[in-house]
Amino acid sequence: MKRHLDELQPKLVILDPLYAYHPSDVEVQNVYARGPMLADLRTMIGDEAALIVGDHFNKTANGRLDLANIAQAGMAVWADSWILQKHREVPNFDEGKFWLEVETGTRRGGGQHLEVDWTLERDKSDPDVILWASVDWEARPMAAKSPDGRIDATVTAILQVIADHPFELTETQVLDKVGGNREKARKAFADLKTNGGLVVKGTERKEGTRMVTRDLIGEGTNAERIRRKRFRRDELRTDSEDTNSTDTDDGTSSERVADDE
């Protein structure tokens, strides 16, 4: 470590995971032994570089992001600043999508509670090499627990029906499958249309023995974003705002809010 600091002079040192480099003569559950070990590491790095030490949660942790749930002794007491993270949903490895809950904090006060979505596009040119063609991410404040901080259940239900029956159902048929309060469902449907969560397209379908063109409902460009709660319920624009129709590359259309000039 000291030689690398002297020769390479890095600006950032990352030790991850800590247990892979842990001295065998230091008892992991003894805070009085691990404390000096971590302090010595910080002293070695000094002011030459920033230091990040990766550690893991206890298997018996309750799922909350809490420094007290760090696996081994000493880390929660020693850390000056921290980034805690866990999966919000099961990762989609095939598409390289990961949905995390992240909490940051520092002894000096302040911090953030975030939803972070990662998309890692694998470079498949060489199947024997793990290489990313692109990396994309989006971070936003963690959705609040109040009703206005969550995507409405009716919105979720409408999106699910549309995903299960793409361009197969009319608005009335979608709302029939959603059920519940009809007025509320119509309002949620209109909000989704305004925000690009769904599109209405004249599509031919078979009815009995004849083909009929109907206005059928499909997913809009923002459907996944809304489903993943990247919009909060109070952030969705209402259908009372002016909208205009916009063509998309796939031949469908979406509704977008008209910008004021």
For 37-62, the pLDDT digits (tens) are 888 888 888 888 999 988 888 777 66
Task: Average the pLDDT over 179-201 and give the result.
Answer: 90
Q: Which helix (H) or strand (E) holds 176?
A: helix 171-178
Which domains does the chain show, CATH number per domain? Answer: 1-79 (no CATH), 82-142 (no CATH), 153-235 (1.10.10.10)
Lowest-confidence range among 66-80, 91-105, 180-194, 246-260?
Answer: 246-260
pLDDT at residue 145 is higher than 50: no
Tokens in use for 37?
């070990």
252 band by pLDDT with thresholds 50, 70 and 90: very low
pLDDT of residue 172: 94
Alpha carbon of residue 35 to chain centroid: 34
C-alpha distance from residue 152 to each of 220, 232, 233, 239 (Å)? 18, 9, 6, 16
Return d(Cα 254, Cα 237) in angstroms, integer.
14
241 band by pLDDT with thresholds 50, 70 and 90: very low
pLDDT at residue 143 is higher than 70: no
> Which amino acid, one-letter code, is at 13?
V
229 band by pLDDT with thresholds 50, 70 and 90: low
Q: Are strands 210-219 and 198-207 parallel, antiparallel or unpaired?
A: antiparallel
pLDDT of residue 21: 82
pTM for the model: 0.54
